[in-house]
Structure 1
Amino acid sequence: MSTALPRPRRARELGLAHSGTPGPLNLVTDVPGAAVGLTTLVRPDDGVQTGVTALLPRPAAELLTPWWAGIAVLNGNGEMTGSHWIQDAGWSQGPILITNTAAVGIAHHAVVGWMVDRFADRVQAEHLWLLPVVAETYDGVLNDIFGRHVTEAHVRAALDNAGSGPFPLGSVGGGTGMIAYELKGGTGSASRILDLPGGPYTLGVLVQANHGRLDQLRVDGVPVAPLLGLCSWRSEDQGSVIVVVVTDAPLLPHQLQRVARRAGLGIGRSGAVGGNSSGDLFLALSTALPAPLPPPEPPLVQSLRCLTDPLLDPIYQAVVDATEEAVLDAMLLSEPTPTFRPKGHTVPALDGERLVEALRGWRWPVGPAATG
């Protein structure tokens, strides 16, 4: 019987991520109360390689309690429902869903129904309205996207199965059929511990990576496609990327909007430039300072205590670092996947061990595996 340890796959295990202190799982679920659920649909013979990811920022019983939020857009060729209200009011409520472009409608329909079922008495008695956040990226190269295979039942399953512990990364959930830098992309996540006044706090990111060109890909700042002998098979950047930042640090909407912008720097660290056809949409939210529902629910006057703006720099650093790491993990934990349209091609995955050897051969100081 072999006693060899499992092959390390995540960037930090391979020594490719060094900055900051991650949480115990190095996932967005390190943020207290946050939970993630995934529905993954893979039927290659039918051209089905898609799914849905559900992020619950609060425990399910508390999802009517609003959370403060900010939105940022690097390039706007994409959809994130509810973003106009977040831009105006600085808050939203309920779960956040990420899926493929053609499934936004059914996901929105499903999450509204799920919330109504869970909170029937309050929704009916108080005439509450629900405007959930549903974001998308396009998976039509690997998936029969216009077959609309994601159903209400699939969305509800992701919501019902959301858990606060570990969850898989790579070709899972909404990221199942995604392509990043012309390699297999998907679902990525990372977290950081923030040692700030009143803390420590936790910050986590959830990424659906479906963006960039192969010649843009950078790891530790190094253009790696030539080192790996990889050749481009697409003529342009044809994807998008969604980043959701969740923290329990007490931040207000104007601060969260600034935090959301920094996700774009994390994406840029891995090489992408936010191409013309890309939808690069970022949401940052805080689960601290629970916001009241709109009047007539009291209090009508609210006092809030938040971190001051000069303390935001370590949060910015954490967002940039965790976003870069989450994108890399989304690629490292994915598998080669055959295309649906056009058929006859297989999108390769990023091989972590080969990448490390290539960087070492290039005399780049890849560090030892991190233990934190």
Structure 2
Amino acid sequence: MNVKPRARDLGLPFNGETGPYNAITDIKGLKVGFTTLTDQSRNIRTGVTAILPRGDASEPKPVWAGQYALNGNGEMTGTHWINDAGYFAGPICITNTHSVGMAHHGATRWMIETYEDYFCKEHASAMPVVAETYDGVLNDINSQHVTSEHAIAALNSATSGPVAEGAVGGGNGMICYEFKGGTGTASRRIEIGGETYTVAALVQANHGIRPWLNILGKPVGKMMPEDRILEQETGSIIVILATDAPLSALSLRQVAKRAAIGIGRGGSPWGNNSGDIFLALSVANEQRMPQMETALTTRTELNMGLLDPFYLAAVECVEESVVNAIVAGEDTPSFKPEGLVCKGIDTTRLSALFC
């Protein structure tokens, strides 16, 4: 696990109260796993990130969800059904652009084997969520090093507790504001109606060019202009937001939209070539699949008029997750073009800006 200091450890004054891990695993029952593939001699720097919203479930169960795409030059499978039904019932995998099919194949196989009884007895279809960003600057993406077994391994490794950041899983080959980017996470705790809820994010940050970068209002990109490696925005960002609050699918879509504001706080206006795709989910209201439920089902839903704190929490989680992904980065040689180095941000200089 990456042991570098996180953004808060560097003294960056983020707002809000975090959960115990300041991570998406602060959502009870949610687990995260990784398969990280690195072989510099073969130009391999990629992987798979896996999220199990209901990590201990013995059968597939609906996870209430809402999805939003700010810019669509990317992929997130399963979203047609999410937009129609307001739920999905499988894992989430995040990988590179040319490995969506293999990750989907692996996640499907994992579902069939993990929920064997359900798939044997029911006429069931597996529709995992698989998303991607492009790692072709640091990884030989066209060689398609990720296999279905790598996705299965990531899913089988999923655990609760602290979450590794930076060059892990699908974030291994990613670049953010021309610094080494990748996987980042953060959480917030909020109180509504006398109840405490958690909102958390995990991002695969692969977006932005250096002059755009702002961190907590400071023009960090302009203050650290050295060692640029890109001429224009060519990357993307995937955001997974999770909560334990009983939100409807419509409310979750509204929460997902706020990921855009969290990213925008970092300075990115998004580029034409970027895929900025967001998913918000709730693990509340646990039920069985519709075909296994009674004719009349009931769910608790939080009053939509009380969502403002969730919007703020989502914005703050995403903003901090992106910075956590950046500060975890380490110097990494490029693949295409060869001969460059994608620098990890100088955390000593960054910390000094906030002293």
Distance in 2 (alpha carbons) for counterparts of 1:302 and 1:271: 44
Distance in 2 (alpha carbons) for counterparts of 1:18 and 1:218: 13
Shift of 1:8: 6.3
Identity of aligned residues (%): 49
Pick which of 306-315 and 40-49 moved more: 306-315
Structure 2: unaligned runs, 5 residues or longer: none
Distance in 1 (alpha carbons) for counterparts of 2:297 and 2:167: 43
The reply on whether 1:189 has 2:185 as its aligned counterpart is yes
Distance in 2 (alpha carbons) for counterparts of 1:226 and 1:265: 21
Structure 1: unaligned runs, 5 residues or longer: 1-5, 360-365, 368-372
Correspondence for 1:343: 338
The reply on whether 1:334 has 2:304 as its aligned counterpart is no
Pick which of 305-314 and 137-146 moved more: 305-314
The reply on whether 1:236 has 2:235 as its aligned counterpart is no
Q: CA offsets, 1:236-286, max 9 Å, x none? A: 100000000011000000000000000010000001112100000000000
Shift of 1:298: 2.2
Q: 1:8/1:183 Cα in 2 relative to 1: closer, same or farther (>3 Å)? A: closer
Correspondence for 1:110: 106
Shift of 1:182: 1.0
Distance in 2 (alpha carbons) for counterparts of 1:7 and 1:114: 30
Contact 2:58–2:114 at 8 Å: present in 1 too?
Answer: no
Correspondence for 2:308: 313
Distance in 2 (alpha carbons) for counterparts of 1:97 and 1:272: 25
Shift of 1:71: 0.4
Q: CA offsets, 1:180-237, max 9 Å, x none? A: 1111110000011121226211111000000011110001122112322425432210
Contact 1:292–1:299 at 8 Å: present in 2 too?
Answer: no
Contact 2:33–2:158 at 8 Å: present in 1 too?
Answer: yes
The reply on whether 1:146 has 2:132 as its aligned counterpart is no
Correspondence for 1:19: 15
Distance in 2 (alpha carbons) for counterparts of 1:282 and 1:338: 29
Correspondence for 1:179: 175
If the length of structure 2 is used for normalisation, what is the TM-score?
Answer: 0.96
* 4+ runs deviating over 3 angstroms: none
Shift of 1:130: 1.1
Shift of 1:9: 2.0
Give the letter aligned to residue 329 of structure 2: S
Give the letter aligned to residue 31 of structure 2: A
SS in 1 for 2:192: coil
SS in 1 for 2:326: helix
Correspondence for 2:42: 46
Contact 2:255–2:314 at 8 Å: present in 1 too?
Answer: yes
Alignment RMSD (CA, Å): 1.5
The reply on whether 1:133 has 2:98 as its aligned counterpart is no
Shift of 1:338: 0.4
If the length of structure 1 is used for normalisation, what is the TM-score?
Answer: 0.92
Distance in 2 (alpha carbons) for counterparts of 1:328 and 1:340: 24
Correspondence for 2:97: 101
Q: CA offsets, 1:68-117, max 9 Å, x none? A: 10001110000000011111111001110000011100010011111111
Distance in 1 (alpha carbons) for counterparts of 2:344 and 2:4: 15
Shift of 1:303: 1.9
The reply on whether 1:256 has 2:252 as its aligned counterpart is yes
1:68-107 correspondence to structure 2 within 5 Å: 68-107=64-103
